[in-house]
Amino acid sequence: MFDLLPHLLNGLVLGLLLALIALGFMLIVGLMEQINLAPGSLFALGAYLALALTGPKPPLPADLAALWLRVPIGWRYGIALIVAPCLAGIVGIAVEFCMRRTYGKDPLYGLLLTFGVALVLEEILRLTWGTRDHVLPIPQSMSGGFIFADLIWSTYRFYAAGMAAIAIGLVWLLIEKTPYGAMIKAGAHDSEMVRALGVNLSKLRLGVFVLGTMLAAFAGIVVAPIWGIRPHMGVDAVVPAFLIIVLGGIGSFWGAVIASLLVGLAVGVSGAYASEWSLLSMYLLLVAVISFRARGLFGKKSVLEV
């Protein structure tokens, strides 16, 4: 059991990070009434925007850049955590306006449109920052490691897990304790009824999409020091995020969180005994759950069902 402890802790940390990634996707897919592939590239965009704000070559005039680089990295990183998701949210507004013509039509239209958007954003990232991998600078207090139980642990992983837990808690408060959250949940199950009650569904969809975009960008910043930054890093986020959404149940907040933790533990524990099965384990977990519950762990009838 003691030998298994590091794998369990790494699995829980991974689960919290996957939950942070999946929640933005869950909000968008739950209300937009179609599969959306754009958040993966917006996830990568958040990481690159943070790199621009914290890296050695900020996109500013020479005098301002020199002044900005004098700011301690801790402050620059903290500012990037706030500013980069907001900038990604502006891009999300443009994407949502492009998607409006696909609402109410065959879901394939939205799927193809967001697939095209994802390719365009990925190519823009590649042209702007190149194809090589980048490392996001982090404060000295978050880097390095520490020794616990005769093992070396990554300090940043625990900081990342803490930031993920805080973000998850704030999203829960928004969804469960505010009128806006009630509208989001209602719209995910019956958008026509929400419209009949006088709610502006267009504004609601825009707000949810921007929120999901900002969450995806925030997740990209938090995960970047662990995964590295590269143009196609969004693909690495899209696959487990959609797997978690289906596993937990479309539109279910706690379903996404619990499914993320289960996936993280499955990857961590399987890696302890057979590392080649670690990634495959989350797909086996999905097959096992869907075989008995087609709508996932906490899923109800969703807008994606005919």
**Is 299 part of any domain?**
no
Q: Is residue 305 scored above 70 in pLDDT?
A: no
Distance CA 252, CA 29 (A): 11
The owner of tokens 């702007």 is 128
Distance CA 133, CA 156 (A): 19
Distance CA 184, CA 176 (A): 10
**Is 101 part of any domain?**
yes
Q: Which 3 state secondary structure label does DSSP give 138?
A: coil
Q: What is the pLDDT of residues 207-237, one digit of tens each?
A: 888 888 899 899 899 988 888 898 888 888 8
Its domain, for residue 167, covers 5-292
**Is 300 part of any domain?**
no
Number of domains comprising the chain: 1
Run of H or E including 146: strand 145-148
Higher pLDDT, 111 or 229: 229
Q: What is the pLDDT of residues 159-190, one digit of tens each?
A: 888 898 999 999 889 888 888 877 777 766 66
Share of the chain above pLDDT 90, in %: 13
CATH of the domain at 192: 1.10.3470
**Is 304 part of any domain?**
no
Residue-wise burial string across 126-158, b where 16 or more C-beta atoms lie within 10 A, e elsewhere: eeebeeeebebbbbeebeeeeeeeeeebbebbe
